Structure 1
Amino acid sequence: MEGEQRAGLFRVPFHIPSFHGLRTLGVYLSGILYALGFWIFLDAVLYSKHANASDLHVTFIDWIPFLCSTLGMVIVSAIEKNRLMDYNNGDFGGNEAIIWQARTVLFLGLALLAGGLSGSIVVLIIKFVIKDYTTYPTVGMGINNVLGNIFILLSCVVLWIAQNAEDEYSYSLTI
Structure 2
Amino acid sequence: MPNYLSEGRRSIFLFKIPNPFKFLGDKQRAIGVYAAGAFFAIGWWAFIDAITLASRDPFKQVSIGFEDWISGILTTLGMIVINLIDKSSLHGDTFSYSGDSLVWKARLFLFVGFALIAGGLAGSVCVLILKYIVPEVPESELYYGIGQVAQCGFIMLSTVILWIAQNTQEEYQYNFML
Task: Tell me the TM-score normalised to structure 2 length.
Answer: 0.81
Report the aligned-residue RMSD. Answer: 2.2
Give the residue type in structure 1 aligned to 2:104: W
Counterpart among 60, 72, 91 of residue 54 in structure 1:
60
Q: 2: CA distance between counterparts of 1:12 and 1:58?
A: 45
**1:112-151 Cα deviation digits (max 9, x unpaired):** 0000000000000110111111x22101100110011000
Asked if 1:111 corresponds to 2:122, the answer is no
Q: 2: CA distance between counterparts of 1:6 and 1:129?
A: 51
Q: 1: CA distance between counterparts of 2:14 and 2:155?
A: 25
Q: 2: CA distance between counterparts of 1:140 and 1:46?
A: 11
Structure 1: which 5+ residue stretches go unaligned? Answer: 89-94, 169-175
**1:95-118 Cα deviation digits (max 9, x unpaired):** 862100000000000000000000
Q: Across the two proteins, how many residue pairs are aligned to each other?
A: 158
> Runs ≥4 in structure 1, deviation > 3 angstroms?
4-7, 17-20
Q: CA deviation at 1:20?
A: 4.2
| Greater Cα shift, 45-54 or 25-34 | 45-54
Q: CA deviation at 1:165?
A: 1.1
Question: Is the CA contact 2:32–2:161 (under 8 Å) kept in the aligned structure 1?
Answer: yes
* 3-state SS, counterpart of residue 56 of structure 1: coil
**1:63-118 Cα deviation digits (max 9, x unpaired):** 00000000000000111221101169xxxxxx862100000000000000000000
- Percent identity for Structure 1 against Structure 2: 37
Give the residue type in structure 1 aligned to 2:140: P
Q: 1: CA distance between counterparts of 2:12 and 2:56?
A: 51
Which structure's residues are more often helix, by fraction?
1
Asked if 1:148 corresponds to 2:151, the answer is yes
Q: CA deviation at 1:12?
A: 2.8
Structure 2: which 5+ residue stretches go unaligned? Answer: 1-6, 172-178
The verdict on how the C-alpha distance between 1:51 and 1:79 changes in structure 2, with shifts beyond 3 A counting, is: same
Structure-2 residue corresponding to 1:45: 51
Which structure's residues are more often strand, by fraction?
2
Task: Tell me the TM-score normalised to structure 1 length.
Answer: 0.82
Counterpart among 68, 71, 74 of residue 74 in structure 2:
68
Structure-2 residue corresponding to 1:36: 42
Alignment of 1:1-175 (within 5 A): 6-16=9-19, 20-51=26-57, 53-86=59-92, 97-133=101-137, 135-167=138-170
Q: 1: CA distance between counterparts of 2:83 and 2:167?
A: 10
